[in-house]
Structure 1
Amino acid sequence: MPDFLAYDFMQRALAAGLLVAAAAATVGLFVVLRRLALLGDTLAHVALAGVAAGILLGVYPVLTGLAGTLAGALAVEGLRVPFRRYGELATAVILATSLGLAVVLLAVGRGFNTDLLGYLFGSLVTVGPADVVTVAVLTVLVVGVATLLFRPLFFLTLDEDLARASGLPVRTLNVIFALLTGATVAVTMRVVGVLLVSSLLVLPVATSLQLARSFRAAWLLSVLFAELAVTVGLAAAFYLDLPPGGTIVLTAVAQLLLAIAARRPYDRLRTGAAARRPAAE
């Protein structure tokens, strides 16, 4: 057993982190391919307001953060109707609203700034048994629903208009997708912190897209890279005494750079082979 796993708090942090990685990679694939990367960042700021409200009211912050992200996800989806031609405006409106609310709550509760740091940047020590249970339940729910609805969500990701013409309940699927994203953001913030949530949604997926040949392969590789980033990042955070959110994200960035570097020689070989084929014929 590695040294850092000899501590109970590290075991809890790793368990929560691996669960979070599976949920983030699963939802992140759909988020990236639907070009909704800003949605994760927006819901992370909504979660910040929810966490601040929870600490201020003396309520379990993860639950208030979850309630906030789910409400924010539904609000984004609801605003897509009046802003149909400018869909990104719905996300921008919720982002601005949540930031304003978070600033006000932070000003009201000046005494809990220290408690909030763990949610902003992630924390190893503060991940308790209740956090692991909450993360496990939400992860099973998110991954389970995404697996059951994999094919409809896949068609929705490819072409929303075609999915609607095929008879799929596009509106319902969009609401479910928004709720899945909100739940994922809520569980992810406990490990990497609110400010870096969108990174764990996007970076493992970006890495997998450099290597994968199919949608399902991209899904599996995204989960693999996310799990690896969490494991290496948590170990680095423990040994270097750094915030886990930063080390996890930097590990994910390193994976992406390595994948890009590894793909270039392969692309050159494939291009050269394609150029030689007509000459040989």
Structure 2
Amino acid sequence: MFSYPFMQNAYMAGTLIAIISGIMGVFVIARNMSFLTHTLSEIGFAGAAFGIFMGWQALNGMLLFTTISSIGVGELGAKSSRRENSITAISALAIGLGILFLSLANSNASYATGILFGSVIGISRQNVIQMSLLSAGVLICLLVIYRFLKFDSFDPIGARVEGLWTRTLSVIFLVLLAFSVSVAAQIVGSLLIFILLTLPAAAAKYFVHSVGAMAGLAVVFALLGVWLGLYLSYVTNWPVSFFISVIEVICYFSALMYNRVRS
């Protein structure tokens, strides 16, 4: 299996995706942003379609659209009363634009399938290098703001009382989330990326209680889903996103069962 360059690239990219998704997912869950993550995946679809229309790499289009949209959501959704409406409006616009750009690009069905559900064979060494640089950037930024982000995510009232720059912090986190969505969508696809950014962390919180331990276990669950999913996809020739989804759902329901038995 590893004698094929595309599988080597897929496993290297998948490892990066699992690490980023596991760590970011802890804060996505803590900040109740699962719905926003799903929206950013739809925006990523529009960005990838725009990239194909412009003759760019799909990843560049995703980065452009998700970054601009995350900043827009951070500004428009500053008040919780209008956050969901803002997210819904941007999501609806993104889906429409994605369909339009694919139509204008005259792309065949395989392009759309690759964007929506991911593609193992579509990962080149250049993509891996680009994803490595983006992943390193996300991790460095997370390390710099980690203490403040943890405070704001797990004790938002206390953070506001202490005068923490919560609005700026929220926008920074949303931009990092946009980068994470764009990176991860290369393998899992824009429709299902929210699975890796939510379920591993959601499962981990039932087993451990500290933020660091939760992030570590979430990365383990994400790695399990990606590595095993890639292997099963290679063996069966079925979509890798299907296997990753099933494995992460099993991890989550196993965590729920463990929590029930322990209780």
Give the TM-score of the pair, scaled to structure 2.
0.95
Letter in structure 1 aligned against 2:130 = T
CA contact (8 A) 2:76 2:86 kept: yes
Asked if 1:69 corresponds to 2:66, the answer is yes
Residue of structure 2 aligned with 1:7, choices 4, 7, 26: 4
CA distance in 1, matches of 2:77, 2:160: 16
Equivalences, count: 263
Name the Cα RMSD after superposition.
1.4
> Which residue pairs with 1:78 in the alignment?
75
Deviates more, 1:70-79 or 1:107-116: 107-116
Identical residues among aligned pairs (%): 31
Offset, 1:86 = 2.9
Verify: 1:165 aligned to 2:161, yes or no: yes
- The answer to whether the aligner puts 1:60 opposite 2:57 as a matched pair is yes
Of the structure 1 ranges 142-151 and 68-77, higher mean CA displacement relative to structure 2 is found in: 142-151
Task: Tell me which residue corresponds to 2:189.
Answer: 193
TM-score (norm 1): 0.89
AA aligned to 1:68 is F
Decide which structure has the larger Cα Rg and report it. Answer: 1
Deviation at 1:145, TM superposition (A): 1.4
Does structure 1 retain, via aligned residues, the 8 Å contact 2:102–2:112?
no
Kept after mapping to 2: 8 A contact 1:26/1:146: no
- Distance in 2, Cα, partners of 1:261 & 1:19: 29
Aligned partner letter, 1:209? K
Return the alpha-carbon distance in structure 2 between the equivalents of residues 250 and 134 of structure 1. 28
| Cα drift, residue 140 of structure 1 | 1.1
Q: Secondary structure at the match of 1:258?
A: helix
- Given candidates 181, 184, 198, the residue that maps to 1:202 is 198
Amino acid in the other structure paired with 1:15? M
Q: Where does structure 1 lack aligned partners over 5 or more consecutive residues?
A: 268-281
Which SS does the other structure have where 1:242 is aligned?
coil
Q: State the match for 1:239 in structure 2.
A: 235
Instruction: Tell me which amino acid in the other structure corresponds to 1:126.
Output: G
- Is there any run of 5+ residues in structure 2 with no aligned partner, and where? none
